């Protein structure tokens, strides 16, 4: 018990600051919430009143088959409008839950725009008209967050959990939009391959993963304190996340193109990035295992062994992709590998969040 106390006490916790908005920040937030609520309620009502989109001069086919008509999107939009209205009232009346409702409403709007862009498969000037105020609202909401000196790092760690959930969701949604795609015999990269029908959809839906992992890596560094191994793990995860910005320039071609000799430098870069990505997260796994307790260390060792085993199986079938030959189980091996890594990220986030919570509790007891 004494050893654990010393370990948690070494986590550096910042001093608590004053929570509150300036007058101009509160006015800006109220304007943004009112503006977005009005837009959601009016737009949603028009879509529900005329699901064929005629009242808003929008043909149903712009949704590329995602919905039969605008009825469900209209209902969702009205729901967002109601939530944003409630947040507006809470902030206006200075209710204690105002910060949470504002964050929930603005977060819901961000998700709405993100999904909308993915469905429409294009950016429109209206996205800037309605989306930029949401970002501004999120900025001026930050001072309302209680104990944000610890809330923000903890939220960053929680982004690790969200990143894994997002990646799983994208890998469920996107293959359904690719006619003939086989989860067992095709790799994930083929969903974003040059010429693939799901290339744009994957790019839009998967982009937030890079930012969530960046936030998670920063959270690891923030929670490391004097623990050098954990800080190194955070640095390696930052490098892993940074590679995400290179992936759009390193897409592979489809199998028939590769077999015909149509591969380019992007295919070579794709292989190099794949190798670098695996090296970074495997080494990060090792430093994390060394930094934390015995149970997590054992779990990480088992994870490493599973990743290595199924990585070898994936590697053995990989050459057949470029020659357009059968790869009956490469998708299974790769997805097991990915799933094991995603689970490890979730477990690491939970361990660090619990560690941080214990450190905060010890810090509070010492102060009192």
**pLDDT tens for residues 289-336?**
999 888 999 999 999 999 999 999 999 999 999 888 999 999 999 999
- Cα torsion through 353, 359, 360, 363, rounded to 10: -170
**Is the torsion defined by CA of 169, 173, 178, 184 positive or negative?**
positive
CA dist., res. 339 & res. 355, Å (int): 24
Show the DSSP H helices in 121-197 as ranges.
125-141, 148-173
Which residues, 6 or more positions from 10, have their beta carbon under 8 angstroms from its beta carbon?
225, 226, 227
Residue 94 has pLDDT above 60, yes or no: yes
Show the DSSP H helices in the chain as ranges.
2-9, 23-49, 71-92, 98-120, 125-141, 148-173, 199-224, 228-242, 255-259, 265-291, 294-317, 319-322, 330-367
pLDDT score recorded for residue 37:
96
Q: Residue 194's beta-bridge partner residues?
A: 253
pLDDT digits 0-9 by tens, 102-155: 988 998 898 888 888 777 767 778 888 988 899 899 888 877 766 555 566 788
Query: Using 50, 70 and 90 to split pLDDT, how confident is the model at 15?
Result: very low
With beta carbons less than 8 A apart as the criterion, state whether 121 and 63 touch. no
- Cα torsion through 43, 49, 50, 56, rounded to 10: -20
pLDDT score recorded for residue 213:
93
Domain ranges (residues) in the chain: 19-146, 147-368
pLDDT score recorded for residue 246:
85
Which residues, 6 or more positions from 47, have their beta carbon under 8 angstroms from its beta carbon?
53, 55, 56, 70, 71, 73, 74, 77
Query: Using 50, 70 and 90 to split pLDDT, how confident is the model at 8?
Result: very low
* Of the candidate ranges 1-5, 210-214, 227-231, 294-298, the one whose mean pLDDT is the lowest: 1-5
Query: Using 50, 70 and 90 to split pLDDT, how confident is the model at 16?
Result: very low
SS3 call for 253 = strand
Residue 2 has pLDDT above 60, yes or no: no
pLDDT score recorded for residue 204:
79
Interval 268-291 mean pLDDT:
92
pLDDT score recorded for residue 362:
61
């Amino acid at each position: 018990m004494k050893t654990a106390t010393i370990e948690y006490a070494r986590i550096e916790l910042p001093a608590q600051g004053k929570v509150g908005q300036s007058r101009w920040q509160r006015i800006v937030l109220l304007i943004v919430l009112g503006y977005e609520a009005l837009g959601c309620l009016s737009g949603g009502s028009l879509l529900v009143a005329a699901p064929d989109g005629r009242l808003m001069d929008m043909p149903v086919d712009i949704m590329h088959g995602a919905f039969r008509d605008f009825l469900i999107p209209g209902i969702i939009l009205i729901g967002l409008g109601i939530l944003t209205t409630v947040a507006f009232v809470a902030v206006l009346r200075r209710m204690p839950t105002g910060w949470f409702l504002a964050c929930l409403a603005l977060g819901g709007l961000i998700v709405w725009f993100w999904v909308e862009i993915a469905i429409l498969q294009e950016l429109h000037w209206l996205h800037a008209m309605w989306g930029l105020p949401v970002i501004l609202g999120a900025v001026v909401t930050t001072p309302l967050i209680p104990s944000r000196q610890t809330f923000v790092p903890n939220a960053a760690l929680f982004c690790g959990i969200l990143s894994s959930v997002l990646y799983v969701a994208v890998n469920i949604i996107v293959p359904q939009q690719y006619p003939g795609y086989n989860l067992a015999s095709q790799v994930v990269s083929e969903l974003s391959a040059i010429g693939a029908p799901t290339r744009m959809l994957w790019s839009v839906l998967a982009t937030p993963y890079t930012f969530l992992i960046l936030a998670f890596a920063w959270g690891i560094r923030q929670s490391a304190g004097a623990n050098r191994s954990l800080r190194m793990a955070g640095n390696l995860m930052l490098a892993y996340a940074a590679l995400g910005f290179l992936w759009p320039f390193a897409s592979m071609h489809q199998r028939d193109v590769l077999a015909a000799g149509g591969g380019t430098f992007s295919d070579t870069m794709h292989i190099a990035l794949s190798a670098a990505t695996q090296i970074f997260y495997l080494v990060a796994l090792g430093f994390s295992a060394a930094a934390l307790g015995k149970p997590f260390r054992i779990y990480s060792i088992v994870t490493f062994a599973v990743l290595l085993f199924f990585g070898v199986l994936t590697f053995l079938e990989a050459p057949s992709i470029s020659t357009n030959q059968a790869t009956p189980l490469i998708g299974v091996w790769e997805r097991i590998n990915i799933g094991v890594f995603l689970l490890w990220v979730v477990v690491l986030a939970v361990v660090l969040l619990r560690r941080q919570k214990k450190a905060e509790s010890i810090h509070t007891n010492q102060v009192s």
